[in-house]
């Protein structure tokens, strides 16, 4: 917009009157020319001529990566919001982690109890063997309750070596 107080405005008025239509004409001509060129252009043929591998070879990836400011990118990432969007329960449901964890816990507990019992039985056997030795008697393992299948049906107890092997 020209100011009424601008002394050069009046002098520029005839020139502007001439250049504005010419500019508009030039833009129309350029647009038409570009459309004609684009229509005439075979993009596939053009791409066929481009050697992509050679192009990639010329790219210095290290230099490209060096120019990337990873810290700045990470600063822009809202990790809390990202984590909030992750449905951990759904994720765990898709895996067998829960069943594996519960199975592992019960297995560890069971093995722990078996271990404690085995240690105690080993010690029972150790004490009994030493007492038998002091009393000059043979020891063939702990006696079974009368009338129990262990007394009648089970094989003879092999004694301490096998007991200790089971610990």
Partner 1 sequence: MTATAAASAAAAQPRLRDHYAGFASRFAGYAVDLGVSTGLFMLALAAISFAASVLTGDSIHWNKSEGWVAVAFVAWQFVYYAYSWAANGKTFGMALLGIRVVRAGGGDAGAGRAVLRTLAFPLSFLLLGLGFAGIVLGRDRRALHDVIAGTAVIYTWDARSARLGFLHRDGPGG
Q: Which residues bind partner 1 (CB under 8 A)?
A: 107, 110-111, 113-114, 116-118, 120-121, 123-128, 131, 135, 141-151, 154, 157-158, 162-163, 165-166
Closest CB to partner 1 among 12 and 103?
103
Closest of 32, 33, 28, 2 to residue 17, by C-alpha: 2
Taking the complex as a whole, how short is the minimal distance between the CB of residue 98 and partner 1, in angstroms? 19
Closest CB to partner 1 among 7 and 166?
166
CA distances from 118 to 21, 105, 110, 112, 167 (A): 104, 20, 12, 10, 5
Closest CB to partner 1 among 37 and 165?
165
Alpha-carbon distance of 161 to 126, in angstroms, equals 10
Closest CB to partner 1 among 26 and 115?
115
Closest CB to partner 1 among 61 and 165?
165
Q: Is the CB of residue 153 less than 8 Å from the CB of residue 163?
A: no
Alpha-carbon distance of 133 to 125, in angstroms, equals 12
Taking the complex as a whole, how short is the minimal distance between the CB of residue 165 and partner 1, in angstroms? 6
Taking the complex as a whole, how short is the minimal distance between the CB of residue 126 and partner 1, in angstroms? 8
Alpha-carbon distance of 132 to 137, in angstroms, equals 5
Tell me how far the alpha carbon of residue 157 is from its chain's centroid: 54
Pure H helices in 6-96:
9-40, 43-49, 52-57, 61-66, 70-76, 79-85, 88-94
Taking the complex as a whole, how short is the minimal distance between the CB of residue 120 and partner 1, in angstroms? 4
Taking the complex as a whole, how short is the minimal distance between the CB of residue 128 and partner 1, in angstroms? 6
């Amino acid at each position: 917009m020209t100011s009424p107080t601008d002394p050069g405005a009046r002098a520029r008025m005839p020139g502007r009157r001439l250049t504005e239509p010419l500019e508009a004409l030039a833009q129309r001509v350029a647009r038409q020319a570009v459309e004609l060129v684009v229509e005439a252009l075979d993009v596939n043929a053009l791409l066929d001529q481009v050697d992509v591998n050679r192009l990639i070879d010329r790219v210095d990836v290290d230099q490209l990566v060096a120019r990337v400011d990873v810290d700045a990118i990470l600063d822009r990432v809202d990790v809390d919001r990202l984590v909030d969007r992750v449905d951990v329960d759904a994720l765990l449901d898709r895996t067998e982690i829960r069943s594996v964890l519960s199975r592992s816990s019960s297995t560890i507990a069971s093995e722990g109890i078996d271990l404690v019992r085995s240690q105690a039985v080993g010690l029972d056997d150790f004490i009994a063997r030493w007492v038998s030795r002091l009393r000059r008697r043979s020891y063939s393992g702990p006696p079974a309750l009368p009338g129990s299948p262990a007394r009648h049906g089970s094989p003879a107890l092999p004694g301490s070596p096998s007991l200790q092997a089971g610990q």
